[in-house]
Amino acid sequence: MADLIRLQKYFSDCGILSRRAAEAEILAGKVTVNGTRASLGDRVDPDIDLVEYKGKPVKPRQSKPYLYLMLHKPRGYVSTAKDEKGRKSVIDLTKGVGSRVYPVGRLDMDSEGLLLMTDDGAFANHLTHPRHEIPKIYHVTLSTEPTAEQLSALSAPMELDGYRLQPVEIKRLTPNKLEMTLYEGRNRQIRRMCESADLKVTRLCRIAIGKIKLEPLPLGRWRHLTEEEVLYLFPQKENHHGSEN
């Protein structure tokens, strides 16, 4: 008998949904276990239990390598596996990869740049964990040249929704273009920070995650991460198929 695992982890292990997306689908009543509507917190035995999503069986992943991709996301694409409004999704740009992959974190629809995608739930969970410390680097173009006071406001301690943000490193590249380095990723953080300093973002591009650089990958294209890049982002990769925390 296999070890019981959380239902949302089972989904990510099967390469169907990320844990977060699976939780939402479970809460929406779209998942059953052995014919019974599933609840958040349920655990399953992959060798015995029948898990179904929207009436279709969710089968354990076959023994094949996980996929780790870098996508140069264009503006106008949402970073979700499915979109109720029918908008273009980053999934549309990775249909030929040979497996179902989903985004690791998000870039909002009006932003562009480096987006990681995978079918490895443990990899995605590691990179989206609040304690994950690899910096994300953005080039931010503003509608006007920021004043010294506005730059100071961006660099000063700031709160969003009652949460105290970690310090953000800021470097001016041109009169109205900044490089901003974040060590966390709150929802639309850069745009909201700029709004609080009376600045309007006209273009936002993630150019790097730590030492993983976007260039020279063309807009709208993807490539596999190298083994070295995967281990840099996820040092525990060699041992992550063990028991669940």
pLDDT digits (tens, 9 = 90+) for 37-96: 999 989 998 878 899 999 999 887 766 788 999 999 999 999 987 777 888 999 999 988
Active-site residue (options: 13, 49, 83, 108): 108
pLDDT of residue 128: 82
The lowest-confidence range among 78-82, 180-184, 193-197, 215-219 is 78-82
Q: Which residue has the higher pLDDT, 159 or 139?
A: 139
Question: Average pLDDT over the chain, rounded to whole?
Answer: 88
Distance of CA 38 to CAs 11, 53, 118, 233, Å? Answer: 13, 10, 25, 33
Q: Which of 210, 215, 245 is nearest to 231 (CA)?
A: 210
Is residue 116 within 8 A of residue 105, CB to CB? The reply is: yes
pLDDT of residue 194: 95
> Could you tell me what percent of the chain has a pLDDT over 90?
58
Angle, CA of 155, 136 and 145, to the nearest 5°: 45
> 108 an active-site residue?
yes
> Is the predicted pLDDT of residue 241 greater than 70, yes or no?
no
> Is the predicted pLDDT of residue 243 greater than 70, yes or no?
no
Write down the residue that tokens 């800021």 correspond to. 170
Residue 185: pLDDT band by 50, 70, 90 thresholds? confident
Is residue 234 within 8 A of residue 227, CB to CB? The reply is: no
Distance of CA 150 to CAs 145, 146, 179, 182, Å? Answer: 10, 6, 15, 18
Whole-number Å distance between alpha carbons of 244 and 241:
8
Is residue 193 within 8 A of residue 145, CB to CB? The reply is: no
Write down the residue that tokens 């609840």 correspond to. 39
pLDDT of residue 245: 28
> Is the predicted pLDDT of residue 25 greater than 80, yes or no?
yes
Backbone angles phi, psi at 203, to 5 degrees: -155, 135
pLDDT in tens, 191-205: 999 999 999 999 999
Query: Buried (b) or exposed (e) across 87-108, using 16+ Cβ within 10 A?
Result: eebbbebbeeeeeebbbbbbbe
